[in-house]
Homo-oligomer: A and B are copies of this chain.
């Protein structure tokens, strides 16, 4: 658990995209962040007050979150200066960078001297169990995708928000580093050891109230040969009652796999559902979430209408339209 509130470190992010972790926190958990801190030349802005480390600390900030991707894979000297100063002031630091905080001797030393914690959310901090397969109480929804990076995290965050606005019990369950930084906890599934993958998802989504929904962030795709094992561990560890299929229609081929065609929504449904029913015979596909960012409004609406007719399921772009219609489908479940 990462302590809130955060101060968001945007560093020298060249553009807005490089600060997508900070933007995610700003969009989905605005109450978690009280400000941003930027270095000279920063081209990103998540529209929070620019605060110094001291000002934010005074306002109660507990953790400096690295909300930016680093170029070249190293933590630069200019970043280091800020991170060490933050530790000296009593901050914890949280990061999802490949270059781990704990591998930097000067950060480790400063953290030890000043009693701060270094959260490398890319690395599991828990010894997960092997999955037992025992049926848990409460309800679970999992986002499955035609491919990687088609909007699974966005969809489950939007559904979680829509459910809570309707007064329903819901918790977003993060399975990747961005989601973990946004909500302060979760399982970095891609870094879990093979035998414990499904068990880590059981651990993440324990017994709950009968009317509570876990909105489980999906990873990879059953059709993405590099990561499909991770996807299946989510399906079997999560034992979902409901699936939402996520898709981005403009992809020419699977991400990073030029020789692999994208599957259709029907193919994902027909593969995921029998697999999901091994762990939960009642599982149903309740809707489709389409990332229409590369379409005009008219194109998008007409595409969604077509999908809805073809699949007989509500089809929405949660970014354009919100996830209310998916939440309705869940209530009807």
A239 / chain B contacts, CB cutoff of 8 Å:
225
**A271→B275 contact, CB < 8 A:** yes
16 additional A-B residue pairs with CB within 8 Å, beyond A194-B197, A197-B230, A198-B227: A131-B226, A133-B226, A133-B254, A133-B257, A190-B194, A190-B195, A194-B194, A195-B230, A223-B278, A225-B239, A225-B278, A228-B232, A228-B233, A229-B229, A229-B231, A271-B274
Closest B residue to A263 using CB positions: B278
**A225→B194 contact, CB < 8 A:** no
A192 close to B (CB within 8 Å): yes
> Which residue of B190, B229, B237, B278 contacts A230 across the interface (Cβ within 8 Å)?
B229
Q: Which of A151-206 contact B (CB under 8 A)?
A: 189-195, 197-199
Bound Cα distance from A226 to B131, whole angstroms? 5
Closest B residue to A129 using CB positions: B226
Q: How far is the CB of A26 from chain B (nearest CB, A)?
A: 28
Give 8 nearest A-B pairs by CB, closest first: A229-B233, A225-B236, A229-B229, A131-B226, A190-B195, A133-B225, A229-B232, A232-B232
Q: Size range of the interface on A?
A: 35 or more
Which of A198, A229, A260 has the largest number of chain B CB atoms within 10 A? Answer: A229
**B226→A194 contact, CB < 8 A:** no
Closest B residue to A234 using CB positions: B229
A274 / chain B contacts, CB cutoff of 8 Å:
271
A105 close to B (CB within 8 Å): no
A226 / chain B contacts, CB cutoff of 8 Å:
130-133, 195, 198-199, 236
A134 close to B (CB within 8 Å): yes
Contact with B along A226-261 (1 / 0, CB 8 A): 111111110011010000000000000010010110
A75 close to B (CB within 8 Å): no
Bound Cα distance from A192 to B197, whole angstroms? 11
**A225→B237 contact, CB < 8 A:** yes
Q: How far is the CB of A263 from chain B (nearest CB, A)?
A: 8
**B233→A194 contact, CB < 8 A:** yes
